[in-house]
Amino acid sequence: MSNTRAPIRPQSKKESIWIAQLLRRAGFGYTPKELKYYKSLGYDGALNELLNPKQVDNSLLEKAIKEQSFDFTNPNDLRRWWLYRMIYSRRPLEEKMTLFLHGHFATSDRKVRNPHAMYVQNMLMRKYALGNFHDLLVGMAKDPAMIIWLDNQQNRKGKPNENFAREVMELFTVGIGNYTEKDIKEAARAFTGWQTKPDGFYFNKGQHDFSKKTVLSVSGNLNGEDIVSILVKRPETSKFLARKLITFFAYDNPDKSYVDRVSSSFRDNNYSLTAMLRSIFEDKTFQSERAFHAKIKSPAELVVGSIKTLQLESLDNDLPQLMGAMGQDLFHPPSVKGWDGGESWISSDTMMERFNFTARITTTRFDELLKTNTPTQLVHRFGLTNALEMVNYFVELLVDGDVPKQTRQRLVEYVSSDLDGKKVSMIEDDRTLDAKLRGLVHLIMTLPTYQLT
């Protein structure tokens, strides 16, 4: 959060809902303190801050990361490092876009086998996460992990390897159906000699094909950067990216008019990713019922959001492995297409892992919320005087109050009874209240709505 604060202004309940949604989609959720801060800025002010991460002081995070002494040659440390960033960064959209780009340029360390190269790639994505897509794509084409991942190390004059040329068209820019096999073959020749050495990108001049090439009707002695420029300028690229970004940040199967508005912002602003994101989040359809609780949380959103909401301070070392069991193993996307997202996050196996995670939080980690307050002191601090107020507070905190009337009533009935099932107006003893608090939070976190963002 920036040092310069906007004046606090009155807020409608409706605007507060959309600010909360913005923080879930443009980040990974929020602590109560963060939500209060962003609400003080208003929707426009919150969006401006999220879209301008370089103006936000993130030095405390960087200092804390240094103190953690992560080993970037260790794959487990690499995953823990990124999860730590997601949770504690004061630049949430920067991290969320880095996650999007990790899926877009899906590179797996299972093949690269170089965690430090994966770290370098991740830092490159973060650098350009809200920057110029042309510059990002050039950087990715020269990235050592990408060169290894898509076999450009073997792309040589007279014997071109087409893997990178194919994926840069199919998955990174124009999409299937907007190029020919000849375009791929010609583009592959333009990327010959783009290799890597232990210290980074290396242009092997002796292995580069300097002869004439024709790609998407553009001819000349084209090199890799020329191909990037040709692809970025294609109208199909702006629509491909717009659709993918809207699906990631807003809702699935976006309508053509929404895609057109976002893609226009990309072309009109020199291929700016920031402009596209602003267009997505300012669009009327983002603040509509169509977008509200319309996406299934990814494992990253579920894990990081839960930790932030319940203000957990210490992190279990096996959290990345738990996320992997839920279907999102960082630095190990399942294929060159990345994660499918949406309903693919939900299966009988992954739901069991999700419920196990929430059970762990409420049984063993909820202590952190209670460490400075007894259960009775805690509910008094929140101003909760009866079972209904207690249910309403946690339902609002965890699912924006979005539960059916019947479900809310059942939660009230649960809180309105002691451990023997006897009905009471408000539990007074700490032992029973502790059990009911944990039980209530766990019940809410297992609701279908909690799986949505």
pLDDT tens per residue, range 173-230? 999 999 999 999 999 999 999 999 988 999 999 999 999 999 999 999 999 999 999 9
CB distance 120 to 145 below 8 Å: yes
Average pLDDT over residues 68-73: 96
Number of neighbouring beta carbons within 10 Å of residue 409: 13
pLDDT above 50 for 141:
yes
CB distance 331 to 75 below 8 Å: yes
pLDDT above 50 for 4:
no
The mean-pLDDT minimum among 45-59, 162-176, 383-397 falls in: 383-397
* pLDDT at residue 13 in the model: 56
- Hey, what are 344's tokens? 């693919």
pLDDT above 50 for 9:
no
* pLDDT at residue 438 in the model: 87
The mean-pLDDT minimum among 6-15, 152-161, 163-172, 222-231 falls in: 6-15
* pLDDT at residue 423 in the model: 84
Number of neighbouring beta carbons within 10 Å of residue 216: 19
Average pLDDT over residues 324-342: 97
pLDDT above 80 for 320:
yes
CB distance 266 to 133 below 8 Å: yes
Q: How far apart are CA 97 and CA 92, in angstroms?
A: 9
Q: How far apart are CA 192 and CA 207, in angstroms?
A: 6
Number of neighbouring beta carbons within 10 Å of residue 265: 21
Q: What is the pTM of this model?
A: 0.94
Q: How far apart are CA 159 and CA 207, in angstroms?
A: 9
Measured at the CA of 446, the angle between CA 88 and CA 430, to 5 degrees, comes to: 80
How high is the mean pLDDT of the chain?
93
| 128 band by pLDDT with thresholds 50, 70 and 90 | very high
